[in-house]
Each structure stands twice: as C-alpha cells, then as structure tokens.
Amino acid sequence: MTDPSRQPGAFARQYRRHRSLRAWPLAAFAVATAVVLGTTLAWAARARATEPPQFEATEVATQNGSLTLKWTGSGDAFEVSLQSRRPTAEPARVVYRGHAPAAHISGLRNGEYAAVVRARSGDGAFGDWSAPATIAVAHHDMQTVWWLFGAGLLCVVATVGTLIVSARRSHV
C-alpha cells in the first residue's frame, strides 16, 4: 500500500487546504473591516446630509423691513421659519420653501425676529433646524422721512409747474 501523502498531487491539495484554512481569519477580518468602515462612512454621510444648514450671517439689521438670508448646507430643498421675539413673541411661521439656499423676506415691522432653516434630504425627510439668525428691524425715523417726502414733493411740484408755465410762455 502506498502512502497517500506520496500520491501524485497530494502535496498540492494539502497546501491548498492549509492555505484556505489560514485565509479564513484573514477573509473574516477583511469582511468585518469592510462592514465597520462602510457603516461608519454611511453614518457619516447621513450625518452630513442631515446636518442643519448654517446661516452666512447670524445677525442681520434692516431699515426697510426686507432682507435676504443666505445659508450653506446640503439638501434638495429648504424651509425657513420666522418668529417674532420683540416687541411681542409670536408663533413661528414658515416664510420660505424652495430649492435655492437663500430666502428673501419683506414687510417686517419694527422689532426683533429669529429665523431658522432646515434642509430636506433625498428621502423627503427634513433634518434638524439650524441655529437661529437674529434679525433686527428698525425703520427710518419719521422725521427724516417727512423731510425727504416734503422736499421731494416740493421739488416735483416745482419741476412740473416750471415746465408747464415755461412751455406755455416759450416762443422760438
């Protein structure tokens, strides 16, 4: 009877079995690493996607009650909510829904407002609200306004009056 280990090809088979046994832990390690890495990356990507946008300016002042808020952050749509803080605190209301990372707001009365923005990700769910931007609205004082209004009125009346009278009197 011949020793099986001495049969042709036996060494090669043994070598392949040994090698596959040694490869198991390596393969398991590689799979585990890939799973952990993949999960981590996916989690990080999701965290990035749902990370609230950030306003470019967190303190905005306006003298005519209108302003444009701009922000950075990813998302396929955005929603901006505005709340009056002073002189009276009022419930927040949505003032912008759109795709562009900017919102124009107008018609605000004197006072202090807080605006927050959130992004909508690809699955349609909104992320968290951003840190607020504070908006201070202080319209021009009426004394300046009446001066300029009166002066403008006077200038227009003088111009129109002069033109009408001069046109009637003119003879070439």
CA distances from 102 to 93, 135, 160 (A): 17, 15, 42
Q: Helix, strand or coil for residue 98?
A: strand
Binding of other proteins at residue 38 (CB under 8 A)?
no
Among the listed residues 1, 99, 122, 125, the single contact to other proteins using CB under 8 A? 99
Q: How far is the CB of 161 from other proteins (least distance, A)?
A: 11
Sign of CA dihedral 72, 75, 77, 83: negative
Draw the binding track, 58-87, toward other proteins (x: CB under 8 A; -: no contact): -----xxxx-x-------xx----------
The three-state secondary structure class of 103 is: strand
172 is a site residue for other proteins (CB under 8 A):
yes
Please report how close the Cβ of residue 53 comes to other proteins at its closest, in angstroms: 13
Burial class (CB in 10 A: 0-12, 13-18, 19+), 105: buried
Stretch that binds other proteins, among 3-11, 34-42, 94-102, 124-132 (CB under 8 A): 94-102
140 near other proteins, judged by CB under 8 A: yes
Pull the structure tokens for residue 131.
Answer: 């840190």
User: CA dihedral defined by 50, 56, 59, 61, rounded to 10 degrees?
Assistant: -130
Q: Which stretch binds other proteins (CB under 8 A): 5-13, 37-45, 107-115, 120-128?
A: 107-115
| In contact, 57 and 103? CB cutoff 8 Å | no
Indicate which single residue of 49, 85, 96, 134 sits in contact with other proteins (rule: CB under 8 A). Answer: 96
Interaction site with other proteins (CB under 8 A) = 63-66, 68, 76-77, 93, 95-104, 106-109, 139-142, 144-145, 148-149, 151-156, 158-160, 162-164, 166-167, 169-170, 172
